[in-house]
Structure 1
Amino acid sequence: MAACTQAAKKALRSQLKKQIRSLTLEQKKRESLEVTQKLLSHKWYQQSCRIAVYLSMDDEVDTEPIVKHILASGRDCFVPRYVGDRMDMLKLYSLDDLSSLPLTKWNIKQPADDDDSRLDAYTAGGLDLVVMPGLGFTIEGDRLGRGKGYYDSYLSLCESRALMPKSIGLAFSAQMCKSIPMGPTDKKIDLVLYPQGTEPGTIENIKHQ
C-alpha cells in the first residue's frame, strides 16, 4: 500500500509541475496578489502575533508582500531553515535581514546553517500560524509537498508538545486537485487559499469562514 501511495504521489507531482509551468508570469502575479489579499484579510492571520511563512520560489505563490506586511505590523515573522531532514522556523528581524540571507541550492533564501543567534519558534513558545507551500492541495486540506516531509514533521512535532498552530496553504489555480494520495504521516492543513473560480478538473469554489 505504501509503495502504491508513493507511486501515485510521484505521478501527481509530475503532473502538477507541468501545470504550474503552464502558468504565465502575469497569471502568477495576478493569482499571488489575490491569494495574498485573502490571507491578509482572514481572521486567523489578523489574530496571529507569531507567524511563520515560507520564502517563495518562482513556482509558488509569492510571499514577499506577506513578509513585508508581518514586519510592518510589528508582529514576529519566522522563516524556514532546512538542514538535512530537519526544518526549523527562525525569526526574521527586518527586510534588510531578509536581503542578507544566503541562498540555498534551491535558490531560496534561508538563515545560514551556522547561524545560532536567531530565535527558534519551537523552543520559544510556538507559533500562532504557519503559512505553507505545497505542490498540490485539495479544498479539504490534503496537501502534497515536494517529498521531503518537512512540514508534516514540523506540525507533528508541534502537536506532540500541544503547540499546534493554525495552518494555511497558498495555491495557484493549477495546484488545486480533486484528491491527493495521503500516507499515515501526511498532515491535513486547516485551510487552503486559492484564486476565485479555480477549477481543478471541475470544483466549486468554497467560502472560508
Structure 2
Amino acid sequence: MATAAVLSVAKRNLRVEMKQRLRALSAEERLRQSRLLTEKVLAHSKYQESQRISIFLSMQDEIETEEIIKDIFQSGKTCFIPQYKFKSNHMDMVKLFSAEEIFSLPKTSWNIRQPSDEVREEALSTGGLDLIFMPGLGFDKQGNRLGRGKGYYDTYLKRCLQHQERKPYTIALAFKEQICGAVPVGESDMRIDEVLYEDT
C-alpha cells in the first residue's frame, strides 16, 4: 500500500491526464458514446431489476445521463440524484420528482444542477438504493475509481453499508478514454462492481 503522500501525488497526476483526455473528446464523440452507453444501461439486467436508482446529473466531461433518467421515470422506478454539501465530503441522494424537473433546478458553482436546500426524501431514510450510477475521472478494469478528490461517493457508499442490509450495486459510466491501466487507490477508496464503457 502506497503512503498517503505518494498516493496523493499519483492521483493528482492521473487527474491532470484524465482531464486532458476528456478535453480532447469532441462533442459528437461524447454524444456517440453516451448514446451507446444508454443502450447498454437500458438492456442491463441490474438496471431492469432495480427499483430505487441513484444517478448523477452530467457535467460536460461526463457521460450524458438525461435519457437514462427519462427511462427511470417511464419505467416507474424511483430516481435519486446527488445533493452535495459544499466545504465537506457529505452528499445525500434526494428524490427527483420528474425528468423535466432537472431543468428547473438551480446550478451550483460547479455548474451542476442540484436541488436547493428544500427538504426532500433522502434514499437511505426510506429504504435505501438498489443501484448507484457512479461518475468519476478515471477507472480501471478491476473496478477502481479515480474521483475528483472530494470523497463524496466513497463516503456515501460507506453510509449505505451502515443503513442497508444489502449494498447497492454500483455501475460506473465511462468514456473508453477514461479507462486506465491501474488507478492508484487507498484504503478509503471503494471499488465499483462494474465499469461500463464502449468496449464492454
TM-score with structure 2 setting the length: 0.95
The aligned amino acid for 2:64 is: D
Matching residue within 16, 22, 25 for 2:24: 22
Structure 2 equivalent of residue 172 of structure 1: 175
Give 1:163 deviation, angstroms.
Answer: 4.5
For 1:84-163, list aligned pairs within 5 A: 84=86, 85=88, 86-112=90-116, 114-116=117-119, 118-161=120-163, 162-163=165-166
The aligned amino acid for 1:195 is: E
SS in 2 for 1:181: coil
Structure 2 equivalent of residue 61 of structure 1: 63
Question: Once superposed, which parts of structure 1, at least 4 consecutive aligned residues long, lie more than 4 Å away?
Answer: none
Unpaired runs of at least 5, structure 2 = none
Give 1:99 deviation, angstroms.
Answer: 1.7
SS in 2 for 1:66: helix
Unpaired runs of at least 5, structure 1 = 197-205
Q: Separation in 1 of the partners of 2:94 and 2:174?
A: 23
TM-score with structure 1 setting the length: 0.91
Over the matched positions of the two proteins, sequence identity in percent amounts to 49
Matching residue within 189, 193, 196 for 1:193: 196
Q: Separation in 2 of the partners of 1:104 and 1:40?
A: 29
Deviations 1:185-206 (A, max 9, x none): 000010000012xxxxxxxxx5
Deviations 1:106-139 (A, max 9, x none): 1111010x211x1110111100000010000111
For the aligned residue pairs, the C-alpha RMSD in angstroms reads 1.0
Q: Separation in 1 of the partners of 2:150 and 2:84?
A: 10
Q: Separation in 1 of the partners of 2:67 and 2:147?
A: 22
Aligned residues: 195
